[in-house]
């Protein structure tokens, strides 16, 4: 079974590696949505894989580093694309949670899914 918990945060960024004239080179912000997906067996007594609250506790220190910050200044996010943000979250949670995917949405129509490879 796979379960997930979604988190939101507001942050500013710019993309330093885009071609000259690209709109994303300019400072702008997003209401980010991050989903943390975990997999495991459903325990017969609890009826759940794990408490959603435990996923929230694990993500909280990351939320504290991201919410209302300029992402380019966060260590490890100097080039804060969705892809790099998803990998950044994965690397900081994989020792604590049985992750299956991290999804990041920057806008209503754009995002990425990271499953620990690449
Ligand atoms: N592969 C990626 N491409 C882009 C990323 C990214 O992280 N990975 N990021 C951006 C920008 O951050 C941009 O703000 C969001 O992208 P975009 O879909 O272009 O957003 P818009 O809302 O401006 O889309 P429009 O439909 O053109 O209005 C760009 N690319
Ligand atoms: Zn952007």
What are the sequence ranges of the domains in the chain?
2-114
Q: Which long-range contacts (CB under 8 A, 24 or more apart) does 61-66 make?
A: 61/92, 62/89, 62/92, 62/93, 63/7, 63/9, 66/9, 66/11, 66/32
Ligand 1 centroid from CA 42, angstroms: 37
pLDDT digit string (tens) for the chain, length 118 residues? 999 999 999 999 999 999 999 999 999 999 999 999 999 999 999 999 999 999 999 999 999 999 999 999 999 999 999 999 999 999 999 999 999 999 999 999 999 999 999 9
CATH of range 2-114; options 3.40.50.1370, 3.30.479.10, 3.90.230.10, 3.90.1150.10: 3.30.479.10
Among 82, 104, 110, 118, the mutation site with the greatest number of ligand 1 atoms within 8 A of its Cβ is 110
ipTM: 0.94
Q: Is 24 a pocket residue for ligand 1 (Cβ < 6 Å)?
A: yes
Nearest CA to ligand 1 atom 4: 81
| pTM assigned to the model | 0.97
């Amino acid at each position: 079974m796979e379960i997930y918990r979604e988190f939101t945060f507001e942050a500013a960024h710019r993309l330093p590696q885009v071609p000259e004239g690209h709109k994303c080179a300019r400072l702008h912000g997003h209401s980010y949505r991050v989903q943390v997906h975990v997999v495991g067996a459903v325990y017969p007594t609890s009826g759940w894989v794990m408490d959603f609250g435990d996923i929230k506790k694990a993500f909280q220190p990351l939320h504290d580093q991201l919410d209302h910050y300029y992402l380019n200044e966060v260590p490890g996010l100097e080039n804060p694309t969705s892809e790099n943000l998803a990998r950044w979250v994965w690397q900081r949670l994989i020792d604590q949670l049985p992750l299956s995917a991290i999804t990041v949405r920057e806008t209503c129509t754009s995002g990425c899914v990271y499953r620990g490879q690449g």
